[in-house]
Structure 1
Amino acid sequence: MQIIAFHNVKGGVGKTSAAVNIAYLASQEGIQTLVWDLDPQGAATWFLSEANPQSARKIGPLIKGKSPIGDYIRSTPYPKLELIPAHRSARSFDIKLNQSGSGNELKQWLKSLSEETAVVILDCPPSLSELAEQVIGTANAIYVPIIPSKLSLQSWDQIKGFAKEQKVKPKRLRPFFSMVDRRKTLHRNLTENPTKTLPTALNTVIPNASAIERMGEAREPLELMDRRSKAARAYRDLWQEIRSSLKL
């Protein structure tokens, strides 16, 4: 089983859109895929058209060991794609993990799914916290969407510093440019050669596209909603880059 995460300390950078579209593309290749929506805002849960959001469970019983993680998994409308939906109780995830003091619970929980699931995708809240520490310590790769701006590049430095404190190998952090508007000179300059600006960056650049914004209305991955769009093609390219690094 491969575990990947989409994370950034900044919100609004296209993290959830990437997680959902990559999850869908993986499932369409017949790869049993699970998305865990760790963000209490529940955007991934919304995008994946969770039939009954009220079926999401509180995280307390999971952390206390009273409920197995399998009880939290729900189906989606798409074959081979499952979801652990967000619950508002996840707002206290960090507090409860700190109180637990049982090591990396996230890794332990996901390990139990290794026989049924090939790829787990973690959609993370924008923070550097106990949960983020466990995500970084668990995921085989952490994909970091970055808007081409000085502030976003500064957030990338924060993530690198945080990962270094956790003694995580730098190559596990994989940034990529997101929400790129080529009408802006700074965006063009920074993304002209992604690996020059960010030495470990992926080659794929995700555009700032209205099609991505419409996902919230359609509640569908772009591959279904607007397959011919530039954004959909970019996500396919992103998936191929990620796919090539997965040990499946």
Structure 2
Amino acid sequence: MRIIAFYSPKGGVGKTAAAVNIAYLASQHGLTTLLWDLDPQGAASFYLSGAEPVKGRKLSKLLAGKAPVAEFVRDNVYPGLDFIPSHPSFRNFDIKLEEGGQSLKSVLAPFSEETSLVVLDCPPSLSRLTEQVLELSDRVYVPLVPTWLSLNSWEQLQAFVRSKKLGRKKLRPFFSLVDRRKKLHKDLIESPDRRLGEPLSVSIPYASVVERMGEEGLPLEVLAPATPAAAAFRQLWAEIEKDL
């Protein structure tokens, strides 16, 4: 079982859209996939259910050993794609992990035999949960809007990873919400700042059709597969598949 995470210390950078689309594409390429929405805001849950309210289970029951993790899973949201929806109680994930004496690794252990890929959609915070995600994941994909503020947040993330000795080599930045009409976006993509190292070659465009994912409750490959944004996510998946 491989584990990847989509994480950014900044919100509103297209992290959840990437997590949902990559999880869907992985499942369509023969990988039994589990997507876990760890963010208490529940954006991934909304992308997969549209306007229908998501009734997730309380985290405390899982971490206290009062309910098996299987009870939290929505099986076959799409063929090959299982899903653990968010719940408001996830805002206390760090505290509950400590109180229950468990780790994210132990919670995910029951999936190891039947699941090929776990995709974690993470909240935009630097916390104990973030540490566990960074430590556990084989790769961490970090979407960056091509702005100087995003580069600053990237440096902060690298500093955090260094301080916790979590392994910087697993971090994989890529550009997201790209608007090539903006000079700064175009310049940073064509000549990436040296602080990024070697970002993934794909750039996810800013597109209204991505916003429609929430309205329709569908991944782009289902909603609008012929669009440039859907093609960009397919390219992103190809790079991730090769990376793994």
Check whether TM > 0.5.
yes
1:124 aligns with 2:122: yes
Q: Which residue of 2 aligns with 1:184?
A: 182
Aligned partners of 1:197 and 1:169: how far apart in 2? 16
Q: Which residue of 2 aligns with 1:47?
A: 47
Alignment of 1:12-27 (within 5 A): 12-27=12-27
1:99 aligns with 2:99: yes
Alignment of 1:161-172 (within 5 A): 161-172=159-170
**Residue identity opposite 2:230 in structure 1:** A
Deviations 1:71-102 (A, max 9, x none): 211124310000001011111112222434x3
Aligned to 1:112, the other structure's residue is in SS state helix
Q: Cα 1:42–1:244, aligned 2, differ >3 Å: closer, same or farther?
A: same
Q: Which residue of 2 aligns with 1:144?
A: 142
TM-align CA RMSD: 1.6
Q: Which residue of 1 aligns with 2:77?
A: 77
**Residue identity opposite 1:139 in structure 2:** S
Q: Which residue of 2 aligns with 1:225?
A: 223
Aligned partners of 2:194 and 2:153: how far apart in 1? 18
CA contact (8 A) 1:171 1:200 kept: no
Alignment of 1:103-118 (within 5 A): 105-118=103-116
Deviations 1:157-189 (A, max 9, x none): 111111112212221000100001101110000
Aligned partners of 1:168 and 1:132: how far apart in 2? 11
Aligned partners of 2:210 and 2:174: how far apart in 1? 16
Deviations 1:121-179 (A, max 9, x none): 00001000011011011100100000011111111111111111221222100010000
Aligned to 2:78, the other structure's residue is in SS state coil
Aligned length: 243
**Residue identity opposite 2:61 in structure 1:** P
Q: Which residue of 2 aligns with 1:133?
A: 131
CA contact (8 A) 2:6 2:15 kept: yes
Aligned partners of 1:195 and 1:241: how far apart in 2? 20
**C-alpha displacement at 1:14, in angstroms?**
0.2
**Residue identity opposite 1:167 in structure 2:** K
**Residue identity opposite 1:168 in structure 2:** L
Q: Which residue of 2 aligns with 1:2?
A: 2
Deviation larger for 181-190 or 58-67:
58-67
Give the gaps of 5 or more residues in structure 2. none
CA contact (8 A) 1:195 1:201 kept: no
**C-alpha displacement at 1:109, in angstroms?**
1.3
**C-alpha displacement at 1:194, in angstroms?**
4.1
**C-alpha displacement at 1:112, in angstroms?**
2.0
Give the gaps of 5 or more residues in structure 1. none
CA contact (8 A) 1:49 1:76 kept: no
CA contact (8 A) 1:3 1:121 kept: yes
Aligned partners of 1:148 and 1:232: how far apart in 2? 20
1:29 aligns with 2:65: no
Deviation larger for 234-243 or 198-207:
198-207
Aligned partners of 2:155 and 2:198: how far apart in 1? 13
1:67 aligns with 2:67: yes
Q: Cα 1:187–1:197, aligned 2, differ >3 Å: closer, same or farther?
A: farther
Deviation larger for 218-227 or 6-15:
218-227
**C-alpha displacement at 1:35, in angstroms?**
0.4
Deviations 1:184-242 (A, max 9, x none): 11000001144756213111100111111111111111111111111101000000000
The percentage of aligned residue pairs carrying the same residue is: 53
Aligned to 1:11, the other structure's residue is in SS state coil
CA contact (8 A) 2:77 2:83 kept: no
Deviation larger for 210-219 or 65-74:
65-74
Aligned to 1:3, the other structure's residue is in SS state strand
Aligned partners of 1:7 and 1:16: how far apart in 2? 9
CA contact (8 A) 1:48 1:76 kept: no
